Amino acid sequence: MSAARTTYREAVRAAIRAALLDDERVFLMGEDVGSYGGCFGVSKGLLEEFGPERIRDTPLSESGFTGAGIGAALGGMRPIVEIMTVNFSLLALDQIVNSAATIRHMSDGQFSVPLVIRMATGAGRQLAAQHSHSLESFYAHVPGIRVVAPATLEDARGMLPAALADPDPVVIFEHTSLYNLEGELAEDAGAVDLDRAAIRRPGRDVTLVTHGGSLAKTLAAAATLAEEGIEAEVIDLRSLRPLDDATIIASVSRTRRAVMVDEGWRTMSLAAELVTRIVEQAFYELDAPLARVCTAEVPIPYPAHLEQAALPSADKIVAAARRLTGG
């Protein structure tokens, strides 16, 4: 089957469009998703094609429209709720944590919430501290929801249909730096699995564990390390909850060294959880301390040079990996 040149943004749009065509219960709802075409341009053209019943602009009330989405899901619909950034999603946290994540449990399985929430995350576009944070770990902390982070075109296209097929709530994190990512995507690309981490580059000397917007930096670091004779294995987590322990532990058991690359802050982070799991399950396989490359513990700065200085970079990843391999 042939492949076409496309972008991450277009891949997400194609996924939404296919879902709307496939299943009349699906609709998209969020701030500026209709007339404006989405604040990152993801839903451009969909209002014209599907009409305001299925592409619904909402008031600026994350709690309100997320709650409406939960209600619609309980009522048999398959809503896709878009929240502009994870920063704003904190206003909907009550609905997500106290309602979406709990209803199956509290109703003893009588009701489920087949809701998909998409939100942008991450820094790098000079959107300042209230639009740039990476709070994936807030959601990955909560039982009752699934959390995924597509980092490739295939996953941008394939995670949404898989999430819609899940009977329980799924949160999809789309890193803002990825929307312009270009590449080839098979024309018949469709649903992908949501459970397994992917090894994006095999290596034997050190494992670099990352996800979402940090994947490209991590692959760049691995290329630099290879020039120095250090073969890094790069794992793209894909699923942040549940974590694919088997893939991570198997990799670290081979390489015996690992660096977590996480755009979240270090303290109480996804990176911290990964370190703990590796130590719990593979302590005796380790041949060096574990390391983390995370964002500096500051609100993301606005000036470009300070923003870049705060974020994980390929150089920082290379330095961390080099240290673990005795270099």
Q: Which residues bind another protein (CB under 8 A)?
A: 205, 228-230, 256, 283-289, 322-327
Report the distance separating Cα 35 and Cα 23, nearest Å.
22
- Nearest distance from residue 250's CB to another protein, in Å? 15
CB of 183 or CB of 289, closer to another protein: 289
Catalytic residue among 10, 31, 82, 131: 131
- Nearest distance from residue 35's CB to another protein, in Å? 56
- Nearest distance from residue 259's CB to another protein, in Å? 12
Catalytic residue among 31, 62, 136, 273: 62
Report the distance separating Cα 80 and Cα 73, nearest Å.
10
CB of 51 or CB of 289, closer to another protein: 289
CB of 109 or CB of 229, closer to another protein: 229
Put residue 129 in one of left, alpha, beta given phi > 0 → left and psi -120 to 50 → alpha: alpha
Contacts of 63 (CB under 8 A, 6+ apart): 91, 92, 94, 95
Report the distance separating Cα 9 and Cα 310, nearest Å.
26
CB of 120 or CB of 259, closer to another protein: 259
Residues 324, 228 contacting (CB under 8 angstroms): no
CB of 102 or CB of 253, closer to another protein: 253
What are the DSSP E strand ranges found in the chain? 3-7, 26-30, 55-57, 78-85, 116-121, 146-148, 170-175, 182-186, 198-201, 206-210, 232-236, 239-241, 258-265, 291-295
CB of 184 or CB of 287, closer to another protein: 287
- Nearest distance from residue 279's CB to another protein, in Å? 9
User: Which is it for the CA torsion 261, 265, 267, 270, positive or negative?
Assistant: negative
Other C-beta atoms closer than 10 Å to the C-beta of 232 total: 28
List the one residue out of 153, 149, 81, 159 whose CA is nearest residue 121.
Answer: 149
User: Which is it for the CA torsion 132, 137, 140, 141, positive or negative?
Assistant: negative
Q: Let me know if 131 is a catalytic residue.
A: yes
Report the distance separating Cα 187 and Cα 310, nearest Å.
38
- Nearest distance from residue 222's CB to another protein, in Å? 14
- Nearest distance from residue 277's CB to another protein, in Å? 15
Report the distance separating Cα 178 and Cα 172, nearest Å.
13
Q: Which residues does the annotation mark as catalytic?
A: 62, 131
